[in-house]
Structure 1
Amino acid sequence: MTKTIWIAVANRATARIFTADSPLGALDEIETLIHPAGRAPEQSLVTDKPGRTYDRAGTGRHADSDTAQHDHEAAVFAAEIAACLAKGRETDRFGTLIVAAPPAFLGELRKHLDAQTQNLVTLELDKDLAHLGARELRAYLPERLVRHEA
């Protein structure tokens, strides 16, 4: 297993993957994933109004929208990120994974990570750090990055 550490920072629209060769080392950005629909306004994501339903009893009528389109887009992007991370794990490009994302998106991302990739996660941060550069991100992380014990 490789000793390389990957740091994945993401939000609904952007995911960036950084690498560090040592627990005290600097970060290098190796990949960026963009999901423009994550920033799009709700009305541009749907082409029609939601369907209307009637209450079983009474005369109530309301829009039928169980899942917001933004939630769907977040799930699609989280699955894309998880697939990218799984591929990196399968090709032995990293042995430790650190993940940072806003709380709701971090939860969505967890749902899509396979068990083997999830087992390599040594640190999760529930913050949106996707806008930070490598130097700023490194300053935000612990001085010594914890490696996964094989």
Structure 2
Amino acid sequence: MQATWIMTANAGRARIFSESDPAQPLQEVEDMVNPAAHLRTAETETDRLGPTAATNSSHNIGGQGTPGYSHTANAGAPNKTYQPAVTPEEHAAEKFAKDISKFLMQAHQEGRFKQLILSASPQFLGTLRANLDQHILSAITQEFNKDYTNSNAQQLREQLHAQQAKSE
């Protein structure tokens, strides 16, 4: 019988447990930590203006060119390097979700698990779901909108059974 993996995650940590027999204790497979989630704001942000800042450059919005006209007006975007605003925390969470997805995909291809039970914090669940491969999404049998990363294996099992009972 192939194992079922149980993963609980938030933007800073993901813990993965294996369950091959419901009568046996859960075995921790992996404990992934997002180092960027533990950095201070001063280490992730800068007050320096980037290339898309609205400075007094004729190459950016608000430049000194002809009033009411930007040289990139016909392009449909402020300039070629424009990117939507993403906070450093959102960027770090997305990068971590991609790392988790890569790990799960490799483990699934190696046949280390057949099914996945996913429990993640509300803030991180959407980001994680958006970055998981289709093969991993199809392996998810249950999904819970809760963060149990600080629970031990026995507490995790009890909390997931309680959540499952509520949803039935």
Question: TM-score interval w.r.t. the shorter chain?
Answer: 0.7 to 0.9
Q: The residue matched to 1:53 in structure 2 has which SS?
A: coil
Paired amino acid for 1:89:
H
Alignment match, 2:6:
7
1:84-113 Cα shifts (integer Å, max 9, x gaps): 111111000001101111112111111111
Unaligned runs of 5+ in 2: 56-60, 69-82
What is the CA-CA distance between 1:124 and the residue it aligns to? 0.8
Unaligned runs of 5+ in 1: 59-63, 146-150
User: Which of the pair has more CA radius of gyration?
Assistant: 2
Are positions 1:110 and 2:129 aligned together? yes
Cα distance in structure 2, aligned partners of 1:27 and 1:33: 17
Judge conservation of contact 1:50–1:65 (CA < 8 Å) in 2: no
Could you list the structure 1 runs, at least 4 aligned residues long, displaced by more than 6 angstroms after superposition: 54-58
User: Which segment drifts farther, 13-22 or 49-58?
Assistant: 49-58
Alignment match, 2:58:
none
Are positions 1:99 and 2:133 aligned together? no
Cα pair distance change 1:136/1:82, threshold 3 Å: same
Q: The residue matched to 1:32 in structure 2 has which SS?
A: strand
TM-score norm. by structure 2 comes to 0.73
Cα distance in structure 2, aligned partners of 1:49 and 1:126: 37
Paired amino acid for 2:25:
A
TM-score norm. by structure 1 comes to 0.81
Q: The residue matched to 2:161 in structure 1 has which SS?
A: coil
After superposition, where does 1:17-56 map in structure 2 within 5 Å? 17-51=16-50, 52-53=53-54
Cα distance in structure 1, aligned partners of 2:144 and 2:107: 20
| Structure with the higher strand share, 1 or 2 | 1
| Structure with the higher helix share, 1 or 2 | 2
Alignment match, 2:86:
67
Q: The residue matched to 1:48 in structure 2 has which SS?
A: coil
After superposition, where does 1:64-143 map in structure 2 within 5 Å? 66-142=85-161
